[in-house]
Amino acid sequence: MSAPAKSQPVTRTPFKRWCDENTGLFFLIPWIIGFLVFKAYPFASSLFYSFTDMNFFKGIHQYGIMNYISIFTDRKTTTALMITFKYAFITVPLKLVFALFIAYILNFKIKFVNLFRTVYYIPSILGGSVAIAVLWRALFKDTGIINTLLGFFGIQGPNWLADRNWALFVICLLRVWQFGSAMVLFLAALKGVPADLYEAATIDGASKTKQFFSITVPMITPVIFYNLVTQIAQAFQEFNGPYIITQGGPRNATTLVALLVYNYAFQSNEMGMACALAWVMFVIVMILTIIAFTSQKHWVYYSD
Amino acid sequence: MKMSTANKIGKFLQYFVLIAVGIIMIYPLIWMIGATFKNNAEVFSGIGFIPMHPTLEGYKAAVTQNYGGNINIWRAFINTYSYVIPKVIFTVISSVVAAYGFSRFKFKGRDLMFSIMISTLFLPQVVLNVPQYLMYNTFGWINSPLYLPLWVPTLFGTETYFVYQLVQFMRSIPKDLDEAAAIDGCGPFKILYKIICPMLSPSLVAVALFQFMWSCNDFMGPLLYVQTPSKYPMAIFVKLSMDADAGFSWNRILALSLISIIPQLIVFFCAQDSFIDGIAAGAVKG
């Protein structure tokens, strides 16, 4: 008859019970502080500043939508937005097509697959560094090795970085060169496509090309989607390439939005204007992301 | 089974494309290594990478270069790692703690906070830069000799990408283990570092490696918050050197650039599987 005495319920004070129920919250305290201080507050005040003429030295003297008006009427900002779109629409598709193409070949029974994977992946790891930006300037210098190479074929290469039409393309190439991380994701996805699907298709007499578009691509749409969304977000924020390689030139031909935001905020101290421009960019990326998410049901295939 | 001719041609084409694209991808880096051993006149004389008259003058100039006696390559390395290493350590710890809270406990408001966390993945840094700068300015952190703006935020799980990845990984660890440990009298902290962390160690290594690479590459952070030349990290030092003498001393600036990425290359080659598995696992699960 001693058993009931042992299992007597332990009485907990309400405070202790609250603690038991919220242990998880305790572990999130640092994150909550971090979110409020380093994300939420800056996010909200950025929106606030965007409706002011905040200047780092002079402070705020005027409220209103003047920043937004000048963003959509000033040639400097509209050009930057146009160039950024152009940059994203060149970089993202090229990068994804390259990544998928190479991943597709690597997925055949290839020897030294790890060696190839490493070689293709190195640029993704180093590409963001200043060192690679320096290298890019050396490659695309007027007397750089790209032009020397073109010279062998009798082509007189342009002065890439000083040419309004080519400078942006050089900045794009720096990003396309870093297709390795997207490729690694595609490769992992391709390995996950069940082999019996291909076998069935081969028996039915479907060609390799047909199989690629009717089996491979649909099966890996979740990863295509993921890559697309992340690459668009990245492309719209590109800063290092234009800042280090071309300083936005020649004649603003490579002044992408992120660089212009920096110039407003930290060169001419027009912080209100910088915030407004950053917000315009943010809303554009948001719209593109929402479009991608809502279009998902038409083209992204989730097996589970 | 004998390979048909068509198959052989197919295989040949596959290798041909892989090797050709691989060479195009990697040749700039090989050329760069070669160019650092050339003399200045030779750097742009051809596209070959083997130096005709090997010289160490580029390296000698790179390691002795200093601006007004304030900053040289070694100082820049020390500066870089003095904030990159704390940043990596704090990111791992704070991300694990936050991920643990999100993935292992049920409490009111968890799902809401989780959605907020996910949505900050889509929050571009560009939007936050100006207010953060003004905030750090009121804290007196701008040009802080301890590089406070560069690493303090990582104490608070602000690197959402890593928190999110670790949540995904933790969810895949069976809960029975923690339950068994809890019955044995382990508190939540003990469960985290005795049970979860050991099982999670490959992902923790991946987080540390990626954060290391990204922090070494980070340019905008130091550009905004480090203004004293003697405190410049590598990224700013290389940029400064390039602006100072691109055009007449390319072997020096290329040697400097190459030295600046050697630590990263070493880390990459020692841990390449962790990198590649890390990137594949993180996103495919998401």
Assigned domain for B286 exists = no
- From B158, which residue of chain A is nearest by alpha-carbon distance? A34
Token duo for residue A167? 């400078």
Residue B51: how many CB atoms within 10 A of its CB? 18
Report the gap between the CA of A298 and the closest CA in chain B (Å): 19
Token duo for residue A118? 């490493």
| pLDDT number for residue A114 | 86
Regarding whether B92 and B23 lie in a shared domain, the answer is: no
Better-scored residue on pLDDT, B233 or B47 = B233
Regarding whether B222 and B196 lie in a shared domain, the answer is: yes
Which CATH number do you get for residue B100? 1.10.3720.10
| pLDDT number for residue B2 | 57
Question: Average pLDDT over chain A, rounded to whole?
Answer: 89
Regarding whether B155 and B45 lie in a shared domain, the answer is: no
Task: Please give the Cα distance from A68 to A123 (Å, whole number).
Answer: 38
Q: CA-based angle B207:B100:A229, to the nearest 5?
A: 55
Residue B245: how many CB atoms within 10 A of its CB? 13
Task: Please give the Cα distance from A60 to A272 (Å, whole number).
Answer: 9
Cβ contact B117–A35 (<8 Å):
yes
Regarding whether B214 and B97 lie in a shared domain, the answer is: yes
Cβ contact B22–A45 (<8 Å):
no
Cβ-contact B139, A41 below 8 angstroms: no
Regarding whether B223 and B108 lie in a shared domain, the answer is: yes
**Largest Cα–Cα separation, chain B:** 74
Give which of A2, A170, A189, A205 is closest to A91, Cα–Cα: A170
Structural domain span for residue B146: 73-245
Token duo for residue B153? 């935020």
Cβ contact A129–B104 (<8 Å):
no
Cβ contact B280–A187 (<8 Å):
yes
Listed range (A150-164, A262-276, B222-236) with the worst mean pLDDT: A150-164
Regarding whether B186 and B79 lie in a shared domain, the answer is: yes
Assigned domain for B107 exists = yes
Q: Choose, out of A98, A118, A145, A160, the residue to mutate when testing the contact with B (most B CBs < 10 Å).
A: A145
Regarding whether B57 and B121 lie in a shared domain, the answer is: no
Report the gap between the CA of B151 and the closest CA in chain A (Å): 12
Domains assigned to chain A: 76-299 (1.10.3720.10)
| pLDDT number for residue B114 | 94
Phi first, then psi, for residue B105 (nearest 5°) are -130, 150
Regarding whether B172 and B102 lie in a shared domain, the answer is: yes
pLDDT band per the 50, 70, 90 thresholds, residue B151: very high
Task: Please give the Cα distance from A292 to A285 (Å, whole number).
Answer: 10
Q: Which of B245, B263, B278 is the last residue of a domain?
A: B245
Report the gap between the CA of B69 and the closest CA in chain A (Å): 22
Q: Which residue type does B109 have?
A: G
Residues in A closer than 8 angstroms to B253, CB to CB, are 134
Residue A294: how many CB atoms within 10 A of its CB? 9
Give which of A94, A95, A93, A178 is closest to A129, Cα–Cα: A178
Looking at the 3D structure of chain B, how many domains does it have? 2
Of A43, A125, A143, Cβ closest to residue B268: A125
pLDDT band per the 50, 70, 90 thresholds, residue B284: very low
Better-scored residue on pLDDT, B86 or B275 = B86
Regarding whether B123 and B57 lie in a shared domain, the answer is: no
- Work out the burial of residue A171: count CB atoms within 10 Å of its CB; fewer than 13 is exposed, 13-18 middle, 19 or more buried: buried
Dihedral of the CA atoms A212, A218, A223, A226 (nearest 10)?
130
pLDDT band per the 50, 70, 90 thresholds, residue A110: confident
Task: Please give the Cα distance from A256 to A86 (Å, whole number).
Answer: 10
Report the percent of chain A where pLDDT is more than 90.
55
Using DSSP's 3-state secondary structure scheme, residue A55 falls into strand
| pLDDT number for residue B61 | 87
Task: Please give the Cα distance from A187 to A165 (Å, whole number).
Answer: 34
Regarding whether B21 and B119 lie in a shared domain, the answer is: no
Tell whether the model's pLDDT for residue B5 goes beyond 80: yes
| pLDDT number for residue B8 | 86
Regarding whether B56 and B82 lie in a shared domain, the answer is: no
Cβ contact A240–B17 (<8 Å):
no
Give which of A220, A226, A136 is closest to A177, Cα–Cα: A136
Task: Please give the Cα distance from B31 to B45 (Å, whole number).
Answer: 12
Tell whether the model's pLDDT for residue A97 goes beyond 80: yes
| pLDDT number for residue B43 | 83
| pLDDT number for residue A1 | 43
| pLDDT number for residue B285 | 37
Tell whether the model's pLDDT for residue B207 goes beyond 70: yes
| pLDDT number for residue A2 | 45
Q: Which residue type does B283 have?
A: A
Q: What share of chain B is helix, strand, coil (3-state, %, to 5)?
A: 75, 0, 25
Q: How far is CA B84 from CA A238, B73, B92, B266, in A?
A: 22, 16, 12, 16
Assigned domain for B212 exists = yes
Give which of B130, B108, B170 is closest to A281, Cα–Cα: B130
Regarding whether B167 and B111 lie in a shared domain, the answer is: yes
Assigned domain for B109 exists = yes
Q: A278 at the B interface (CB within 8 A)?
A: yes
Listed range (B7-11, B90-94, B262-266) with the worst mean pLDDT: B7-11
Cβ-contact B216, B234 below 8 angstroms: yes
Cβ contact A130–B234 (<8 Å):
yes
pLDDT digits 0-9 by tens, A189-239: 898 888 888 889 989 888 888 888 888 998 999 899 989 998 999 999 999
Note if the bond before B233 is cis, omega within 30 degrees.
no
Q: A113 at the B interface (CB within 8 A)?
A: no
Residues in B closer than 8 angstroms to A134, CB to CB, are 238, 242, 246, 253-254, 257
pLDDT digits 0-9 by tens, B104-146: 998 888 999 999 999 998 899 999 999 999 999 999 999 999 9
| pLDDT number for residue A3 | 46
Dihedral of the CA atoms B205, B208, B214, B215 (nearest 10)?
-160
| pLDDT number for residue A113 | 86
Cβ-contact B253, A134 below 8 angstroms: yes
Distance linking the first and last C-alpha atoms of chain A: 53
Using DSSP's 3-state secondary structure scheme, residue A169 falls into helix
Distance linking the first and last C-alpha atoms of chain B: 40
Question: Average pLDDT over chain B, rounded to whole?
Answer: 88
pLDDT digits 0-9 by tens, A43-70: 999 999 999 999 999 989 999 999 999 9
Task: Please give the Cα distance from B146 to B79 (Å, whole number).
Answer: 10
Better-scored residue on pLDDT, B9 or A46 = A46
